[in-house]
Amino acid sequence: MSADAETTISITGCLKEISGRLTDAAAVEKAAVTCAESGSEHEAVRIVLELDEMLHEASTLLNGVTLLNRMRRTNAREPEPETG
């Protein structure tokens, strides 16, 4: 794979990253619920605080997808530059 292909940002790539972050967040949340149900609410709160970074990253990636989509729509409306 070329260096350009490795650094290209795509909507599909961002969506996969969002999916990964949310999958990880769901696992952390399940662990927190398990702790809370077993009577360790203090530990559950400590665990659930780890969600902040994962959800922030997922939100940032979602903003990136929105921006890429907006840029694509804008570029699709612009006429091709004349050559000559």
pLDDT tens-digit readout, 31-72: 999 999 999 999 999 999 999 999 999 999 999 999 999 988
- Tens of pLDDT, residues 15-41: 999 999 999 999 999 999 999 999 999
- Show the tokens assigned to 55: 């959800």
pLDDT at 81 over 90: no
For the chain, what are the domain ranges? 24-74
Residue 49 confidence (pLDDT)? 93
Token look-up 């989509």 returns 69
Can you tell me the mean pLDDT for 1-15?
Answer: 71
C-alpha pair distances (Å), 45 with each of 13, 20, 27, 33, 50:
32, 22, 14, 9, 9
How many angstroms separate the CA atoms of 66 and 59, rounded?
Answer: 11
The pTM score is 0.73
